[in-house]
Amino acid sequence: MLRSMYEWLDRRLDITPLWRDVADHEVPEHVNPAHHFSAFIYCFGGLTFFIVVIQILSGMFLALYYVPDIVNAHASVKYLQTEVAFGSIVRGMHHWGASVAIVMLFLHTLRVFFTGAYKNPREFNWVIGMLIFFVMLGLGFTGYLLPWDNKAYFATKVGVQIAASVPFIGPYIATFLQGGDIVGAQTLARFFALHVFFLPAVLLALLGAHFLLIRRQGISGPL
């Protein structure tokens, strides 16, 4: 069935050359676990991407039920947890996946650094990777407020106060994040927009550039 569907599409769209260009890519011997035990450290980047995909899919499910206002936000999360089929499982995946993604991304960054994979000609990809790291931190920070409970509220207040302590531009950053002078309805709406629209768009663009450079430059060699 799947083969016939693929052939039907291929006759009309000629997708086989594109698929071959993506799939027929030689993998260096040093990242093959069958030949080198240390090859597992080269899996951190792929695992991070896999978790990001889970975050996107689970986040799309959560967005179907979440109401981004201070009156209904917490109630909508509670409804998702208690009334929606598999809601608590999906939210648990999204909640813990956010932490796991940061850990895996940190391990991937350490691998790149200690194997010298950031050096010529991969300096630009290292910069992109750092930007991805900060975007992921931003996603974690903006998503933490969305349940709108006491822990999320006061943790966000602390985070905004830390941002406000940045020299010269700190007060402007705090005002931008809060949408005003206090953490309130505007803050929740702003964090929701950042978490669901703006930061994911930036993340996908950076990931596309990251993968394009990896494909052109290849996987870095061992130490």
> Which among 44, 53, 156, 145 has a CA at the least distance from the CA of 97?
53
Mean pLDDT across the stretch 32-59? 86
The per-residue pLDDT for 217 is 86
DSSP state for residue 169 in the 8-state scheme: T
Percent of the chain with pLDDT over 70: 96
Q: Where are the alpha helices (DSSP H) in the chain?
A: 2-13, 16-23, 44-63, 73-82, 87-114, 123-145, 150-164, 170-178, 185-193, 199-217
pTM of the entire predicted model = 0.90
Please name the residue that has the structure tokens 């391990």: 107
Residue 34 banded pLDDT, cuts 50, 70, 90: low
CA–CA gap between residue 85 and residue 87 (Å, rounded): 5
**Protein fold of 43-217:** Cytochrome Bc1 Complex; Chain C (1.20.810)
Mean pLDDT across the stretch 194-214? 96
> C-alpha angle with apex 47: 41 to 49, nearest 5 degrees?
130
Mean pLDDT across the stretch 172-184? 94
Q: What is the mean pLDDT of the chain?
A: 91
CA–CA gap between residue 194 and residue 187 (Å, rounded): 10
pLDDT tens by residue, 78-120:
999 999 999 999 999 999 999 999 999 999 999 999 989 999 8
* In the chain, where the domains are located: 43-217
